[in-house]
């Protein structure tokens, strides 16, 4: 059930989470750990955030995971930390702390379908400015944050019309995000990664923090614990409470890492 989650403070949330004997902390990346940037390559963690995540992931009784729509290989480069779980491609590829890799989906035909979608996207974008086509292997993202709004609307309408037959035939779905339109296999979502981690760390208090439409699947997958929406404005969500910005998320992580409770 979706409602508008009340605004919370990092201090109160940190105190509540620190009281758990074992904590499973799961976080989205873009818009949660780091602010949304004009292009994905500009959204990078600063040294202070990396140090805080590293300390948390090595703390006794703390399990930390980052679950993102980005490819696993990207997350590995952005977050080269010890003891951190990484889930890329909306949870389709999960790397555990020891390096063991778990894949939700293995499908050669899917890669061919994504290549077909990529060709269509590049044709629709042509030489237009402000667009970015990103092939993630098992999904495709069409970014338009820097595009003219009216041109973006025209491009998206054309793209959706042209890829509809490919999607219908191959069980793919559209997923709108923050100035991005993504196509992924049906049934692949961050909620699957949350279920996997909650099953692996049964008994730990699960907390998921995220900001976008793709994080709603993760919030809904929580059977207990807490979902934390990151948003400056109140909006309907399956989350339990809300923080206003990635900066407040960092404050929460810092308080947990320093153990002020």
Point out the catalytic residue in the list 28, 211, 215, 217: 28
Residue 257 gets the label, from left (phi > 0), alpha (psi -120 to 50) or beta, of alpha
Phi, psi of 226, deg, nearest 5: -150, 135
213: Cβ contacts below 8 Å, ≥ 6 apart: 175, 176, 177
Q: Are 131 and 155 in contact (CB under 8 A)?
A: yes
What's the rounded Cα separation, in Å, for the pair 158 and 168?
A: 16
> DSSP assignment of 137-168, as one string?
SS-EEEE-TTS-HHHHHHHHHHHHHHHHHHHH
- CA-CA-CA-CA torsion for 56, 9, 31, 160, nearest 10 degrees? 130
Instruction: Please say if 28 is a catalytic residue.
Output: yes
Q: Are 71 and 78 in contact (CB under 8 A)?
A: no
Is 225 strand, coil or helix? coil
197: Cβ contacts below 8 Å, ≥ 6 apart: 24, 26, 63, 65, 85, 87, 94, 206
Provide the 8-state DSSP code for 210. Answer: E
User: Catalytic positions, please?
Assistant: 28
């Amino acid at each position: 059930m979706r409602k508008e989650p009340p605004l919370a403070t990092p201090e109160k949330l940190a105190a509540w989470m620190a009281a758990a004997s074992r904590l499973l902390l799961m976080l989205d990346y873009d818009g949660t750990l780091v602010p949304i940037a004009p292009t994905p390559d500009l959204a990078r963690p600063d040294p202070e955030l990396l140090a805080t995540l590293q300390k948390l992931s090595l703390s006794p009784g703390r399990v930390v995971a980052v679950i993102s729509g980005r490819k696993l290989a990207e997350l590995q480069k952005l977050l080269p930390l010890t003891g951190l779980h990484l889930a890329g491609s909306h949870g389709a590829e999960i790397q555990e702390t020891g390096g063991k890799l778990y894949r939700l989906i293995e499908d050669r035909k899917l890669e061919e379908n994504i290549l077909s979608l990529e060709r269509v996207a590049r044709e629709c974008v042509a030489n237009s400015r402000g667009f970015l086509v990103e092939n993630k292997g098992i999904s495709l993202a069409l970014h338009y944050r820097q595009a003219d709004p009216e041109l973006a609307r025209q491009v998206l309408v054309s793209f959706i019309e042209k890829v509809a037959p490919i999607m219908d035939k191959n069980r793919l779905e559209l997923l709108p995000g923050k100035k991005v339109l993504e196509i992924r296999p049906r049934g692949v979502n961050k909620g699957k990664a949350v279920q996997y981690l909650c099953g692996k760390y049964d008994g730990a208090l699960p907390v998921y923090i995220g900001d976008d439409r793709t994080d709603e699947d993760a919030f809904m997958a929580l059977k207990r614990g807490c979902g934390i929406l990151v948003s400056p404005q109140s909006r309907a969500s399956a989350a339990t409470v809300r923080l206003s910005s990635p900066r407040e998320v960092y404050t929460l992580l810092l308080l947990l890492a320093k153990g002020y409770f």
